Structure 1
């Protein structure tokens, strides 16, 4: 059964040291099991991984070397931390950035199973500049902000195709360690390849915003509006859009006509917020970044937790999502996967397994889960 609880820690450590090592020791056993089970040992060698980082992200190679050493220096740890051609992994999320003459905001909902998030907000000065954000893969970022006010967040692009490239969370770390503006970030993203399809939304202190689609193996598409959910604009079909409700969420964001300061409110209600924790797909947190003030407001199951890059406070929050969990409901967006399904059988599906399969890149169409339910029923009779 999917866990409904998650502990969030806010940690500050200017240079990699004992706090990061403690987190590594806590999280590595689970990550190592995932890495091995998903074929990570069959990927590029540790020297090849370091060479790729040297070629594409030379500015953070010393940081990478330091983390590998702190992690024990094994080949597997080196390959894992590089995220060069890693195993496939997926996720959810809605993203948007808005600006006007006086204000700018970037807001994201992080949608997944509570079992699949590290729950770590980390402030660092690893390369000499301050960076604050939500950690993925022990040093990468799902979203964050730096001391120039540049903010960025990611969303899964909706297909499991892979190419030669880096895990997107490492790319976000690189962007925030080396870039000051959205224009700087776009130049970096055009040069550093992503191994999967991901969507990014960016904003900076000048009020510039952007949304880009990362293409597996390299390349970007800059989109006309700074919003993103879990599909892309290319001809490739999105994975399980009925399960993620990606098109419904995107249509809502596209039609918003509000001021930046009101953007966060939209992410705290339907259709953007997700309450299907029992299905492995609920909103774990809403993050509101203010690039001008260099602040972050986290909303955790209705409770706000404010942090500032220049006045960061360590702390902890324990969140129980069971009170927020909703009931299984059919997707309201027609015309995509799931349309025409007999949803009267949906209550018999193990929705937690659906969500975990989806996040692990093993998901099947909803029809397949329903067919399995029918087969079990036939065998029982």
Structure 2
């Protein structure tokens, strides 16, 4: 078993100040060094950063997050082009992964599946004072989120489908962040997902405080919305975008479907995804498909659950209390994985 730790980051202030703050936190962290080792040099050379184009896109969708990138650039004493490449969420080669989502009228449960060596181990609570909603969730590429919840009770999670036929556009983690900061409802999130440029093919699962839940299928060329409470790693409508091998995605989908009748409450739903004997939790860490965290979000009372590894009780965060100025009194979330590698934050 590998012991793992996710560091809790809490901040209230402007996006630029948040960028500076994160740079200070990361100065002596192994996260950026480890990520640079993972980049394939031949691939990264193809990421020609058009600063003017990307700035214009950020200024349209979120000038505040552009300010966060400026803060990171200044905090690290790097050029804005370097900051865009490292943190911009516009260019990023996303490896194949699993992931499963189960939604009800008042919750979203999500397994994030990947290789631990890609996982930053940062759980971020951020309340901006210069625009945008307060959010919480695990970070990816520093500025992005793997999933999360905002102060208006909108929760989002995404599942990888395909990276073929990609185009210029935002990647999943930045899209998740933009949805959380800019949208209060499922309808607003759908509108943003229809407008924003998508680099890869992903599904985005959404639930809001009204109890509405949908799955948005998004590729570089098309975006469609469907009703549904279960989502794994394939499209049901944009089927031409699916990978050739969908066996495990379909298997997890049907495992969740057949257990839905046994669910009486949110904790039952959580156990369907987190218990290692239910057929959904994965230990395939070496194949980029092991379950790293199980997250749960309740829009009505603004609670967030997180567990690192399987068969674990969740760490519960009362986001309402945090929004009212009461900081979490813990600095880390601890867990264990049946994996060879740990997170890149240690």
| Fold agreement, TM-score > 0.5 | yes
Map 1:137-286 → 2, pairs under 5 A: 137-215=141-219, 217-233=220-236, 234-238=239-243, 240-242=245-247, 245-255=248-258, 256-257=260-261, 258-261=263-266, 262-269=268-275, 270-286=278-294
Q: CA distance change for structure 1 residues 116 and 185 in 2, over 3 Å: closer, same or farther?
A: same
Partner of 1:288: 296
Alpha-carbon distance between aligned partners in 2 of 1:133 and 1:159, rounded to the nearest angstrom: 24
Q: Say whether 1:97 aligns with 2:100.
A: no
Partner of 2:332: 316
CA contact (8 A) 2:88 2:143 kept: no
CA contact (8 A) 1:95 1:108 kept: yes
Partner of 1:372: none
Q: Say whether 1:30 aligns with 2:34.
A: yes
What is the aligned residue count? 316
Structure 1 ranges of 4+ moved more than 4 A: none
Q: CA distance change for structure 1 residues 228 and 206 in 2, over 3 Å: closer, same or farther?
A: same
CA contact (8 A) 2:274 2:294 kept: yes
Partner of 1:117: 119
User: CA offset at residue 199 of structure 1?
Assistant: 1.1
Q: CA distance change for structure 1 residues 151 and 40 in 2, over 3 Å: closer, same or farther?
A: same
**Which residue of the other structure, out of 66, 72, 76, is the alignment partner of 1:67?**
72
Q: CA distance change for structure 1 residues 280 and 184 in 2, over 3 Å: closer, same or farther?
A: closer
Alpha-carbon distance between aligned partners in 2 of 1:86 and 1:265, rounded to the nearest angstrom: 32
Q: CA distance change for structure 1 residues 144 and 239 in 2, over 3 Å: closer, same or farther?
A: farther
Q: Aligned to 1:211, what secondary structure does the other structure show?
A: strand
User: CA offset at residue 188 of structure 1?
Assistant: 0.5
Compute the RMSD of aligned alpha carbons: 2.5
User: CA offset at residue 163 of structure 1?
Assistant: 1.4
Alpha-carbon distance between aligned partners in 2 of 1:188 and 1:278, rounded to the nearest angstrom: 35
Q: Say whether 1:83 aligns with 2:85.
A: no
User: CA offset at residue 260 of structure 1?
Assistant: 4.8
Taking structure 1 as the reference length, the TM-score comes to: 0.75
Determine which structure has more spread, i.e. the larger CA radius of gyration.
1
CA contact (8 A) 2:213 2:227 kept: no
Alpha-carbon distance between aligned partners in 2 of 1:319 and 1:288, rounded to the nearest angstrom: 16
Q: Deviations over 1:210-241 (max 9, x none)?
A: 111111x2431112213211112212442543
Which structure ranks higher in relative contact order (CA pairs < 8 Å, sequence separation ≥ 6)? Answer: 2
Q: Say whether 1:307 aligns with 2:317.
A: yes
Higher strand share: 2
Q: Deviations over 1:96-133 (max 9, x none)?
A: 2111xxxx000001112221111111001134532111
User: CA offset at residue 293 of structure 1?
Assistant: 1.0
Partner of 1:349: none
User: CA offset at residue 88 of structure 1?
Assistant: 4.0
User: CA offset at residue 17 of structure 1?
Assistant: 5.5
CA contact (8 A) 1:21 1:70 kept: yes
Q: CA distance change for structure 1 residues 58 and 166 in 2, over 3 Å: closer, same or farther?
A: same
Name stretches of at least 5 consecutive residues in structure 1 with no aligned partner. Answer: 326-351, 354-381
User: CA offset at residue 34 of structure 1?
Assistant: 3.6
Alpha-carbon distance between aligned partners in 2 of 1:33 and 1:48, rounded to the nearest angstrom: 28
Alpha-carbon distance between aligned partners in 2 of 1:185 and 1:253, rounded to the nearest angstrom: 25
CA contact (8 A) 2:306 2:314 kept: yes
User: CA offset at residue 65 of structure 1?
Assistant: 2.8
